[in-house]
Structure 1
Amino acid sequence: MSSLCPFAKGAIGVGSVCPMKSSEKSKESNSHNTSKQEKEEKNVEEKKIGAATIPAKCPFGYDSETFKLGPLSCMVCHALLYDSSKCMPCAHKFCKICISRFRDCPLCGADIEKIEADADLQATVDRFIDGHARIKRTQSNSDKGEETVAAQKKVIYEDVSMERGAFLVQQAMRAFRARNVESAKSRLDLCAEDIREQLKVTEDSQEFCSQLGAVLGMLGDCCRSMGDGDSAVKYYEESTEFLSKLPSKDLEVVHTLSVSLNKVGDLKYYAGELQSARSYYVRSLEVRRQAVKEHSNVSSQVIDLATSLAKVADVNRNLGEEKTAIEGFEEAVQCLQALKLDSAEAALEQKRCSVLNFLQSQLTENSSHVSSSPA
């Protein structure tokens, strides 16, 4: 799963923190400064969106900019609780998947005699997720009937620094890193649903297409980790559908698009569908060739190009097209050998060397195979 948040560009400015941390003095000052007209407008707006009247603070003590751990977090995966459970007899609470890996409580060390579901706590977590952070989709609720709006009962905290999508993605990435894939997928499903609703209103906004493409790619990663290759392919293909609508000048979009194509190719490759795998690898290669033409001075794009060349060459070799495969490996080697990195690009240098070593080993293997073949 990508470590980049697709909502980073739309994040609220630095400095916004959970108003829970503001002083009572500040609250009193803000109260006196609020005019009668502003109060009336606020009341009208709340009636329009049907939102519950909630103080402008996070009641659970979360800082929405840094997402510090709070009372609704699992201390194992550091994400919000999913399938909340308590280990008995100590009653400490974790995600069910997280605590099921332990024999002793990770917090107190007590023997775990059994694990019990905590439905009430999970209901609180779900309400918290539903209401915490600015929910963009509520902006379109004014066009709906009052009964529909009231039925949704969306709770909005008035002053939160990151919007709902960034919040859900951050929680999903934490859970995924801790191998709580079901939790990650659940958060990403909510995020994708939100963006789809926005796209219905904004008519294929580039921003939302980019966000949805990235989130769908992450959902593909979740399904692949869960062993559901068919669903992973569907998510990756849908991801490429949205990302293909966007300008190729955005390098993040180009990278995410090419990676999604390669991941479908990988799944087809390991399923033995070599022709299909090659078609996806070639599409990714074309995207990366174009990126290098437009951004020849970006080292990461050159390494991506070499990686795609290697993938196409490898599948060609497995299809019996030795000459074409060797040409592809050699082109990739030339790209990497010509690439000069400075000291600030140490991580890229490590990746360059890794790909180069693989390519050279493949060329050596092909040479040995040709020399040992009968005349």
Structure 2
Amino acid sequence: MTMTPVCPFVKANRPDDPSVKKNSEVQNKPVCPFAKAACSDDQNLNKKPESESKQEPDERASIPAKCPLGYDSQTFKLGPLSCMICQALLFECGKCAPCSHVFCKACISRFNDCPLCGADIEKIEDNPDLQKVVDRFIEGHARIKRPQSNSSHEEEEAGESKTVIYEDVSLERGSFLVQQAMRAFRASNIESAKSRLNLCAEDIREQLARMGNTSELCSQLGAVLGILGDCCRAAGDVSSAVTYFEESVGFLLKVSKDDLEVTHTLSVSLNKIGDLKYYAEDLEAARSYYLEALDVRKDTMNHQAAPSQILDVAVSLAKVADVDRNLGNKDAALDRFQEAIKLTESLKLTSDESGLEQKRLSVLEFLNAQLSNEESNPYS
């Protein structure tokens, strides 16, 4: 059973997930720092004379700032800075000759004809100047520049420039980088995805150094590292994938187990390490990670037994049982398969949970097949 990584900045769903509609668009929509409204008056301006307290609020503090490169925070449209193939920010720009259309080099290298105009691609040239613009765009979204309103109009009349305050908005930048990384990842532009995720991880590490191991930062870094592990696994770099997953686990373990979403992400990372160890035929190590994931999921189920959590436990039981069977522990494998079947059969879902019902039936079919094999071949 494959699990999808969880976006650390948009609860429970990754950016561009088609299932994220009404609530997530309203509550969790990532915001472009350049699109933020200017800040409100500082604390000193709150101490106004009584004669001024009834006046209309100063409109100078509510003028929205716009991204100078045309970034649209509502749709993430980037125009000339995006690759038309992967729909993400350009990475290692490649310009087609002779038509001069620009794409990510990794994306366009799969084509013989230009996807935009159909012209034969004679060669792909580097475009470092445009790449520098893209890199400056990313760096610009690290902070937001905002004017500080003054309590007196005299300074403006005197022509004095306003103070500029830089506000740290790395969380919005993090959401933006993860969104771009997931677009690239889905288009198999792995190096682009890794580059954006590494920038995001660096931002969060800097905040951790300043603020300490807060639950929010640890959960975000744990999730980002987990997606980096997915990228390495997709690229066949098993060693790096295990390293990222293990580091992800380390940060997620620092978060309270009351956060059900984080504990689910933790169990997924543990299972992924177990899978990699399993495929490397290190069965004892695989069993250890599968058991740890099972313990996390059972503990979570004790707090709140949602249908999806019960299915997660059943899947973990099946993973441990499969390893037990391969290690020759037939009785233990049989017991775990039976426990998983009992859990899955006891799960009652409503008509509104049709998607989960399909998964339940799929898991149950798999478990019954495995149990049948065990019972028909007790000495195999």
TM-score bin (small chain): 0.7 to 0.9
TM-fit CA distance, 1:12: 9.8
Distance across 2 between alignment mates of 1:233 and 1:362 = 28
Partner of 2:293 in structure 1? 284
- Match of 1:272, SS state, is coil
Q: 1:249 aligns with which of 250, 258, 266?
A: 258
TM-fit CA distance, 1:168: 0.5
TM-fit CA distance, 1:354: 1.3
TM-fit CA distance, 1:60: 1.9
- Match of 1:190, SS state, is helix
Partner of 1:348 in structure 2? 356
Q: 1:19 to 1:123 in 2, by over 3 A?
A: closer
Q: How does 1:202-351 map to 2 (within 5 A)?
A: 202-296=211-305, 298-351=306-359
Partner of 1:5 in structure 2? 7
Q: Which runs of 5+ in 2 are unaligned?
A: 12-23, 46-63, 146-163
TM-fit CA distance, 1:103: 1.0
Does residue 201 (structure 1) correspond to residue 210 (structure 2)? The answer is yes
Contact 2:35/2:73 (CA < 8 Å) preserved in 1?
no
Contact 1:6/1:211 (CA < 8 Å) preserved in 2?
yes
Q: 1:192 aligns with which of 192, 201, 224?
A: 201
Distance across 2 between alignment mates of 1:262 and 1:135 = 39
Q: For structure 1, which segment, 127-136 or 350-359, has the greater mean C-alpha deviation from structure 2 after superposition?
A: 127-136
Contact 1:246/1:253 (CA < 8 Å) preserved in 2?
yes
Q: For structure 1, which segment, 197-206 or 306-315, has the greater mean C-alpha deviation from structure 2 after superposition?
A: 197-206
- Match of 2:250, SS state, is helix
- Match of 2:219, SS state, is helix
Contact 1:80/1:171 (CA < 8 Å) preserved in 2?
yes
Q: CA RMSD in A?
A: 3.1
Does residue 107 (structure 1) correspond to residue 116 (structure 2)? The answer is yes
TM-fit CA distance, 1:178: 0.8
TM-fit CA distance, 1:159: 11
Contact 1:97/1:180 (CA < 8 Å) preserved in 2?
yes
Contact 1:299/1:339 (CA < 8 Å) preserved in 2?
yes
Cα displacement string for residues 9-35 of structure 1 (whole angstroms, at most 9, x for unaligned residues): 69996789769999xxxx9xx9xx999
Contact 1:217/1:236 (CA < 8 Å) preserved in 2?
yes
Distance across 1 between alignment mates of 2:354 and 2:263 = 23
Contact 1:332/1:359 (CA < 8 Å) preserved in 2?
yes
Q: How does 1:20-169 map to 2 (within 5 A)?
A: 56-132=65-141, 134=143, 163-169=172-178
Q: 1:175 to 1:15 in 2, by over 3 A?
A: closer
TM-fit CA distance, 1:6: 0.7
Give, as a single letter, the amino acid of the residue that structure 1 aligns with 2:6.
Answer: L
Contact 2:5/2:227 (CA < 8 Å) preserved in 1?
no
Distance across 2 between alignment mates of 1:92 and 1:244 = 47
Q: Which runs of 5+ in 1 are unaligned?
A: 39-54, 137-154
Cα displacement string for residues 50-73 of structure 1 (whole angstroms, at most 9, x for unaligned residues): xxxxx9321221112331242100
Contact 1:72/1:125 (CA < 8 Å) preserved in 2?
yes
Q: 1:161 to 1:312 in 2, by over 3 A?
A: closer
Distance across 1 between alignment mates of 2:169 and 2:270 = 36
TM-fit CA distance, 1:5: 2.2
Contact 1:278/1:312 (CA < 8 Å) preserved in 2?
yes
Partner of 1:178 in structure 2? 187
Q: 1:77 to 1:368 in 2, by over 3 A?
A: same
Q: 1:117 to 1:331 in 2, by over 3 A?
A: same
Contact 2:344/2:360 (CA < 8 Å) preserved in 1?
yes
- Match of 2:377, SS state, is helix
Distance across 2 between alignment mates of 1:156 and 1:184 = 31
Contact 2:144/2:169 (CA < 8 Å) preserved in 1?
no
- Match of 1:268, SS state, is helix
Distance across 1 between alignment mates of 2:225 and 2:321 = 28
Distance across 2 between alignment mates of 1:311 and 1:156 = 53
Does residue 362 (structure 1) correspond to residue 370 (structure 2)? The answer is yes
Identity %: 63
TM-fit CA distance, 1:134: 3.9
TM-score normalised by L of structure 2 = 0.79
TM-fit CA distance, 1:4: 3.4
Distance across 2 between alignment mates of 1:159 and 1:263 = 34
TM-fit CA distance, 1:311: 0.2
Give, as a single letter, the amino acid of the residue that structure 2 aligns with 1:301.
Answer: Q
Cα displacement string for residues 281-327 of structure 1 (whole angstroms, at most 9, x for unaligned residues): 0000000000111111x111001000000000000000011110011
Contact 2:201/2:221 (CA < 8 Å) preserved in 1?
yes
